[in-house]
Structure 1
Amino acid sequence: MSALLLILITILFPPAGVFIISGCGADLLINIGLTILGYFPGHIHAFYLEYVYFDRKVQARDGFVPAEPAPGVYSDNIQAGGQGYGTVNSGPSPVY
């Protein structure tokens, strides 16, 4: 999903943007609570999560692995920049 589309979705309804990048978990519940408390706290939280997600995505693409988790982020998908799911490629298979 493109960053521009994700930002537009987040502007309209912050929990939807958080759900797209983190799934159903603690980050989504926190964002729903903040959105209920006020429209702008939900936006601030959602855009912070999206910033961390895209920043970690660029870092992973460049081969840098952050040593510390981002504060206030509970989703492994966001912490890994979307690189945390799937299989690990350990190199070419041996030919017998």
Structure 2
Amino acid sequence: MGAISGVLIILITIFMPPVGVFMVAGCGADLFVNICLTILGVIPGHIHAFYLEYVYFDRREQAREGRFAAKRAPGVYSERVQTGGQGYGTMAQSTA
């Protein structure tokens, strides 16, 4: 995913937060939590969705730089988000 994909996910999240969460985290606990928060009010759903996307893209950038987060992000249940889409705890291959 490049910059255009990131912008597309953000635009989708502005209008439908659960769809943005599904695109980043997949179908799981994070999606269920976001649907519940969106039903309770639009603002909590947006905050949760943008938080998940921030963690996902931040961890993805850290993995590209060769740094890996030692601690889990609080409130994030998806391994895909925790690792920045780099797999389930696997290290990214070096391109050098």
- Compute the TM-score of the two structures, normalised by the length of structure 1: 0.87
1:28-47 paired onto structure 2 within 5 Å: 28-47=31-50
| Stretches of structure 1 lacking an aligned partner (at least 5 in a row) | 91-96
Residues 34-66 of structure 1: per-residue CA shift (max 9 Å, x gap): 000000100000000000000000000000011
Identity of counterpart residues, as a percentage?
A: 67
User: Secondary structure of 1:66's match?
Assistant: coil
With normalisation by structure 2, the TM-score equals 0.87
Is 1:51 the counterpart of 2:54 in the alignment? yes
| 1:84, distance to aligned residue in structure 2 (A) | 1.1
1:60-92 CA-to-partner distances (Å, cap 9, x unmatched) read: 00000111100000000000001015x8788xx
Which residue in the other structure is 2:9 paired with?
6
Partner AA of 1:36 in structure 2:
I
* Alignment pair present for 1:26 and 2:39: no
Mapped to 1, the partners of 2:58 and 2:92 lie a distance apart of 23
Q: Which residue of 1 aligns with 2:78?
A: 75
Read off the aligned partner of 1:27 and give its amino acid letter: D
| Structure number with larger C-alpha Rg | 1
* Aligned residues: CA RMSD: 1.8
Moved over 6 A (4+): 87-90
Task: Identify the residue that residue 63 of structure 2 maps to in structure 1.
Answer: 60
